[in-house]
Amino acid sequence: MLREQGPRGVAATARPLACAADYAAAARAALPPDVWDYVDGGAGDELTLAANLAAFRRRAVRPRVLVDVAHRDTRTRVLGTDLAAPLAVAPMAYHRLVHPDGESGTARAAAAEGLLTVASTFASQTVEEIAAAAPGRVWFQLYCFRDRGLTADLVGRAQAAGCTALVLTGDAPLMGRRERDIRRGFVLPGDIEPANLRGLPGSGLAGGGLAGGGLAAGGLPGGRDLAAATRELLDPALTWDAVGWLAESSPLPLVIKGVMTAEDAVLAREAGAAAVIVSNHGGRQLDGAPATLDALAEVCDGAAGDIEVYLDGGVRRGLDVLKAVALGARLVLTGRPVLWGLAVAGEHGAREVLRLLKEELDLAMALSGRPSLARLGLDTLAPAEGDT
Ligand SMILES: Cc1cc2nc3c(=O)[nH]c(=O)nc-3n(C[C@H](O)[C@H](O)[C@H](O)COP(=O)(O)O)c2cc1C
Ligand SMILES: CC(C)CC(=O)C(=O)O
């Protein structure tokens, strides 16, 4: 069990860290304020960020009693990967911003808990390094670049490295307006770089690229904000055609991240996706998008049982995982809590956070009288306020 640390690892109190929120407090104390705000913040008024959390709190569980819960089974299988629980690490850029263990540490932590990690295109370590840290337990998140050659190259690298699925992010044609980052003047520190793009020709980064100095020069010496760099790289004209192109050009199962409506779930099905992630990017893109838990039912309708439906956004407790599974999610991803754990104690901290979430899920299944995932269904939850 980890204990709360003060800044720079000096023990401030001997308080054990009991839940993800405790890790958030400890991470906040340990991280530079601009890095904390980059991780913690959302777009605009942060309405969607708050909505994600509120939606989980609003839903109550209908407990069944006198059920034999002596044995609980949280195991599942998702796109060919056996998981100890229906839980994974959402793709997040630049883990080394919070700890030198970086994405490899996160991937090892998830694998040690029998889970999987989605590695970001904008990881601070290469997809090869991350996949090697957790063989068979890494998926690759793809941002589609204006340069399709570069995009295809990344897809080929992810596959060769052993990633077992591709996750195409669809909700970021431009980067959301993150006002905390604007106020702080947040730029990447010089020693953190998008390692997958290092030295790549055709990336549009050479000579005054992502942060003004080019990548081959060894990192990103600051000076350009992420939104400007993202605008240069990512293709805002991306359409469902690209999904068809990817589905045809790679044998890996394709997951579309950022699907929030039944209409788009239908299009994902038609384009050949294996699954969709109900996601609003943790409230970092369209402020005003609904909470993911509230969008889950309509996306499940659109998926019509033909493709799998996953969810991320606001998952802070094992109980949240239970609620999302009850409403139809086959896999639930968590983002910020893993970075909190990583910030507090590197790989070990990330593992502790994931272990806590799994333990909480197991306990919630026992106390709600639903010892298997198959028993989690619509009858598990009381109607949300406002439902008829
Ligand atoms: C610091 C940070 C970086 C992120 N980077 C990416 C990314 O590179 N690609 C992506 O598809 N989503 C990215 N996301 C969004 C997450 O994948 C996920 O949708 C979101 O964090 C889930 O919400 P949660 O943090 O409340 O669990 C990022 C989120 C955070 C907090
Ligand atoms: C570099 C960014 C595009 C990564 C991201 O998706 C995010 O910060 O939410």
Class of domain 21-183+234-377: alpha beta
Is the Cβ atom of 289 under 6 angstroms away from ligand 1?
A: no
pLDDT in tens, 28-53: 999 999 999 999 999 999 999 999 99
Alpha carbon 335 to its chain centroid, in Å, reads 4
Share of the chain above pLDDT 90, in %: 85
Is 204 labelled as part of a ligand binding site? no
Question: Which pairing describes strands 116-119 and 138-142: parallel, antiparallel, or unpaired?
Answer: parallel
Structure tokens at 204: 């549009």
Which residue carries 């699954």 as its tokens? 275
Of 20-34, 193-207, 213-227, 273-287, the poorest mean pLDDT is in 213-227
Q: What is the pTM of this model?
A: 0.94
Residue of 39, 48, 96, 175 with the most ligand 2 atoms within 8 Å of its CB, for mutation:
175
CB contact set of 113 (below 8 Å; sequence gap of 6+): 84, 85, 351, 354, 355, 358
Q: Which amino acid is at 156?
A: G
Distance CA 326, CA 319 (A): 11
Domain ranges of the chain: 21-183+234-377, 187-224
Give the DSSP letter of residue 371: -
Is 82 labelled as part of a ligand binding site? no
Alpha carbon 54 to its chain centroid, in Å, reads 19
Is the Cβ atom of 106 under 6 angstroms away from ligand 1?
A: no
To the query of whether residue 281 is one of the catalytic residues in this protein, the response is yes
User: Is the distance from CB of 35 to CB of 18 less than 8 angstroms?
Assistant: no
Residue 277 Cα to ligand 2 middle (Å): 16
Candidate list 71, 95, 281, 348, residue with the active-site label: 281
pLDDT at 200: 61
Is the Cβ atom of 277 under 6 angstroms away from ligand 2?
A: no
Distance CA 254, CA 274 (A): 5
Is 279 labelled as part of a ligand binding site? yes
